[in-house]
Structure 1
Amino acid sequence: MTGDELVELLAALANPIRLRIVARLADGRQYVSQLAREIGISRPLLHMHLQKLEAAGVVTGTLELSGDGKAMKYFEVTGFDVRLTAATLAAATATLSPARKEQT
C-alpha cells in the first residue's frame, strides 16, 4: 500500500458514520435505501460517505435490477486488511506523493 493510499484509507475511516457503515456491511451486502434506514441517515448523506469509502477501496458498489425492474445499488465491504506498525508507516511515508509530503 502506498503512502497516498494509506492516507486516503485512514481519512475514510476517520469518521464515526463511515465506521458504522463498514460495521453494518461487515454482516453482508446491503442496498442503499435499507442501509440508510438502518444507519439512520438520509440517502444523499449515505451516498457521500459511501463515495469516500469506495474511493479508499473499503467498499464496492454494484447496480442490480430487482424482480420488478427497479435499479438497486448494493454495497459490500472489500477484503481490506491494514496493519499499522512503525515500519509500515515509515514505508508508506517514503511513497507519499510530493503534494502529500507538503501537507505534513
Structure 2
Amino acid sequence: MSKQELTGDALMGILGALASPHRLRVVAALAGGRAYVSQLARDLGISRALLQVHLKKLERAGLVIADLELSPDGKALKFYRAAPFSLVLTPEIIAAAAASLTTDPKEQ
C-alpha cells in the first residue's frame, strides 16, 4: 500500500484492526504460512467464533486473505493467509491521510 492509496478511512481501519492483542497474534501466526480456521483457533487458544470475529475485521482492513478449498472428503475448509502489506507512518503521511477522513470525529 503506497501513501497515495492510504486514505484516512483506510488508515483508521488498519490501525483499528491491529489494535487488539488477538488480532496481532493472528497476523503473526499467519506470517508463518496459511492456516485453516479450526487449526488457527487451536494454535491461538481461542474459540472459532471469536477467531472468526477477529479474522473478519482483519480481512476488511486488507490484512488477511481468505481462500475456500475442498478437502479430499468434500469438506469445505476456509484457509487464511497474511496479505502482503507494508505500512510506513510519518507525520506527513498521517497528515495526508487525516485530510481525507470522511468520519466525523464527534461520532467517535
Using the size of structure 2 for normalisation, the TM-score is 0.91
Distance 1:4 1:17, change over 3 A: same
Aligned to 1:52: 57
Aligned to 1:65: 70
Secondary structure of the equivalent of 2:32?
A: coil
Residues matched between the structures, number: 103
- How far residue 80 of structure 1 moved from its aligned partner, in angstroms, is 1.3
Aligned to 1:13: 18
Aligned to 2:35: 30
Structure 1 segments unaligned to the other structure (5+ residues)? none
Runs of 4+ with >6 A deviation = none
Structure 1 letter corresponding to 2:55: L
Aligned to 1:89: 94
**Aligned mates of 1:46, 1:89 — CA distance in 2:** 30
Candidates 35, 45, 51, aligned match of 1:40: 45
**Does structure 2 conserve the Cα–Cα contact (< 8 Å) formed by 1:4 and 1:100?**
no
Structure 2 segments unaligned to the other structure (5+ residues)? 1-5
